[in-house]
Amino acid sequence: MPKDTSNLTCAIIGASHAGVNLAFSLRREGWEGEILLFDSDPEFPYHRPPLSKTYLTTLEGIEYDVLFPKENYSSDNITLKLGTTITEINREEKTISFADGNSEHYDKLVLATGARPLIPVIEGLNGATNVFTMRTAKDTQEIRKALNQCNEKRVVIIGGGYIGLETAASLRKIGAEVIVLEREERILSRVTSFEMSMFFNELHKQHNVALLTNKNVIAIESSNGMNKVICDDDTSYQAAIIILGVGVKVNTELAAQAGLEISNGIKVNSAAKTNDNDIYAIGDCTYHFNQHYQRFIRLESVQNAVDQAKVAAAAICGKEANYDAIPWFWSDQYDVKLQMVGLSQGYTEVVKRVEINKDRSESVWYFRGDELLAVDAVNNGKAYVLGTRFIRSKQRINKQKLADTTIPIKPTSFL
């Protein structure tokens, strides 16, 4: 029997996918005490993935998709404190302190602090005009506002990862002229294979987005509302708007200052617990063990945020909980849906399928030896769903059959 929780307080720092789902899961798991949910973002908690997708292309005022409606917070008695920044955790006294000097007691504390955009070191960046990142509702609002005010809708995106490419596709859709500057020799180089990079390269080319690689931005010169973005190969590009999409920095400062174990993120066990028995961490900010791949990882994804939230909620309520998920992700660009499952890192071989009789439907299957590690599926829900099943069950696959596109994708086709 779980002990009586009615006099206890669970404080959650971070009210995005992880923190909000944790709050509601706690009630489902039977937590009877107070739930305090904090975030420095003043916006009512919203779905984040559409920031670089549909929110950016909706021509009328942006209507954010809320994670849960307001009434649910009151009916579940979750106290939401937005626009509130926590400055310190005191583990001995079990308190968290706010910027205004006040503090609050906790019995259980959950860190869902996420990550923030990395700001690269570029000469002249601070003085440049209309420089934005892409992480919060405010970012999307400001980009749209700036775009509406510019006569020349010229945008330079620094960084060719998923955020950069989704933003490029969305801005192109609403008529901006877009250049993406990627430092590596191919786009998406940190996150996917050569094959997928080439697919997205071609896709963006067809939509007249200039994807330029081996472009290391070193300086920005700005005058009269225009920026000149200068690369180390002496090329330069005009931009009314600059968007930074060069990765994130994990928000570990609070945890580190409180003496929690940090290693590429806040280190947690399989129940999402830190090295303090009363402090848990979930979502983008955690460095956690993945049981399927048998290694510690950090993930930036909705799946990880929501699944870890459920595990932590159960654990906090004294139930047996064990995080054992196969990671999955998605990206929408133009009319293309990319669905990814598994972790391809360490692959030794890829099998690529381009479906016949189906428009722009591809899949890339990643293997290490005979083990299927991951699948990237483009407009191909079947490959994604079956890939998920095969990875989870460690099904051995006949690669020759898999590569043969005259054989349709079916559960028994490649055995």
Asked if 327 and 339 count as a contact pair (C-beta separation under 8 A), the reply is: no
CB of 25 to another protein, least distance (A): 11
Angle at 130 between CA 138 and CA 184, to 5 degrees: 95
Q: Whose Cβ is closer to another protein: residue 239's or residue 326's?
A: 326
CB of 411 to another protein, least distance (A): 6
Q: Whose Cβ is closer to another protein: residue 237's or residue 328's?
A: 328
CB of 327 to another protein, least distance (A): 12
CB of 11 to another protein, least distance (A): 23
Q: Whose Cβ is closer to another protein: residue 222's or residue 361's?
A: 361
CB of 35 to another protein, least distance (A): 15
Alpha-carbon distance 5 to 313, whole Å? Answer: 13
CB of 341 to another protein, least distance (A): 11
Closest CA to 270 of 244, 299, 296: 296
The string of DSSP codes covering 125-178 is STT-SSEE-SSSHHHHHHHHHHHHH-SS-EEEEE--SHHHHHHHHHHHHTT-EE
CA distances from 128 to 23, 141, 226, 229, 332 (A): 40, 19, 8, 10, 30
C-alpha 335: how far from chain center: 20
Q: Which residues bind another protein (CB under 8 A)?
A: 47, 49-50, 65, 68-69, 71-72, 302-303, 306, 328, 330, 332, 337, 339, 379-382, 384-386, 389, 410-411
Residues 6 or more apart whose Cβ sits within 8 Å of residue 317: 2, 5, 26, 29, 30, 31
CB of 64 to another protein, least distance (A): 10
Q: Whose Cβ is closer to another protein: residue 99's or residue 354's?
A: 354
Place of tokens 């029997």: 1
- Cβ neighbours around 322 below 10 Å, total: 12
CB of 229 to another protein, least distance (A): 32
**Alpha-carbon dihedral sign for residues 37, 39, 43, 45:** negative
CB of 78 to another protein, least distance (A): 13
Place of tokens 């670089």: 52
Q: Whose Cβ is closer to another protein: residue 259's or residue 411's?
A: 411
Q: Whose Cβ is closer to another protein: residue 50's or residue 164's?
A: 50
- Residue 54: phi and psi, rounded to 5, are -65, -30
Q: Whose Cβ is closer to another protein: residue 274's or residue 339's?
A: 339
Q: Whose Cβ is closer to another protein: residue 262's or residue 385's?
A: 385
**Alpha-carbon dihedral sign for residues 274, 280, 281, 286:** positive
Q: Indicate the pairing of strand 108-111 with strand 9-13.
A: parallel
Q: Whose Cβ is closer to another protein: residue 67's or residue 128's?
A: 67
Express the helix, strand and coil content of the chain in percent, nearest 5 each: 25, 30, 45
Q: Whose Cβ is closer to another protein: residue 228's or residue 360's?
A: 360
The two structure tokens encoding residue 6: 């009615």
Kindly report the length of the chain.
Answer: 415
Asked if 85 and 99 count as a contact pair (C-beta separation under 8 A), the reply is: yes
CB of 362 to another protein, least distance (A): 13
Closest CA to 378 of 365, 362, 366, 357: 362
